[in-house]
Amino acid sequence: MPSLLPPRCRAGAVSRCVGTGLALLLSATVACSKPASDAAPAAAPAADTAPPPPPNATVSNTPRIVFLGDSLTAGLGVAASEAYPAVVGERLKQEGRDFEIVNAGVSGDTSAGGLRRLDWSLQGNVHVLVIALGGNDGLRGLPVEELRRNLAAIIERAQRRGIHVVLAGMEAPPNFGDSYTRRFREVYADLARTYNVSFIPFFLADVAGRPALNQADGIHPTMEGQRLIADRMLKIITPLLDESATR
């Protein structure tokens, strides 16, 4: 399964959403990615790594929580049961909440890839959609407006179905320039305000930049890091589940 980073680059570290620690995690991309101007961020990336699976005709009516993301969500490098979506599901089960957890994380995926596979990801009785996409957009230097359009389309389609949306912010590496990094970060905050969705400013807050919580590549969380992400997700998701129950 491919890493979040391009094949020629496998190291780095990020910190909080304000970006001061971001250079610690992603500075390695400077050495392995050709710098680009804000006007021409990067060459077109290779196609997304995995085609969407066929629709499931036997989807149950059990209420679902869907996590739409990349390798950080898929749980690259840890067991499936240790990825944060599974941890969230287990903790909800311990609280007596009956929700089916759908880990729709695909390693190497971009926001465009997430949008392409949205329909099958949202099959069934989905109550909450967590959007954790954009890390690969930033690593590839893809245009910020494309990120904005893709994420907006995902949010709009989910909201039309009455699905609660949680938007997890990502960070771009510093080697594409300060302007690109700032505009990339602002996309998430702007969309959260525009669509009035629950918002996590930085998906890897309190995990990135801490060696004990990250695998050797410095990008993908360890089991302990995944648990911290799950803790943050539960604080956001639980009130949404309570709201759904009163509908």
State residue 58's pLDDT score: 62
What ranges make up the beta strands (E) of 100-194?
A: 100-105, 126-132, 164-168
| Domain total in the chain | 1
Q: Which CATH number do you get for residue 75?
A: 3.40.50.1110
**Is beta strand 100-105 parallel, antiparallel or unpaired with respect to 126-132?**
unpaired
Q: Report how far residue 8's alpha carbon sits from residue 10's, in angstroms, rounded to the nearest whole number.
A: 7
Q: Look at residue 129 and tell me if it is in a domain.
A: yes
> Which residues are annotated as catalytic?
71, 217, 220
Q: Please give the order of strands across the beta sheet that includes 126-132.
A: 100-105, 64-69, 126-132, 164-168, 198-200
Q: Look at residue 38 and tell me if it is in a domain.
A: no
Q: Look at residue 135 and tell me if it is in a domain.
A: yes
Assign residue 86 a region: left if phi > 0, alpha if psi is -120 to 50, beta otherwise? alpha
**Residue 85 is part of which domain span?**
61-203+221-245
Q: Look at residue 40 and tell me if it is in a domain.
A: no
Q: Look at residue 46 and tell me if it is in a domain.
A: no
State residue 53's pLDDT score: 52
pLDDT tens digit at each of 247 positions of the chain: 444 443 333 333 333 333 333 434 444 333 333 333 333 333 333 445 444 554 454 667 899 999 999 999 999 999 999 999 999 999 999 999 999 999 999 999 999 999 999 999 999 999 999 999 999 999 999 999 999 999 999 999 999 999 999 999 999 989 999 999 999 999 999 999 999 999 999 999 999 999 999 999 999 999 999 999 999 999 999 999 987 665 5
Q: Look at residue 19 and tell me if it is in a domain.
A: no
Q: Look at residue 51 and tell me if it is in a domain.
A: no
State residue 235's pLDDT score: 95
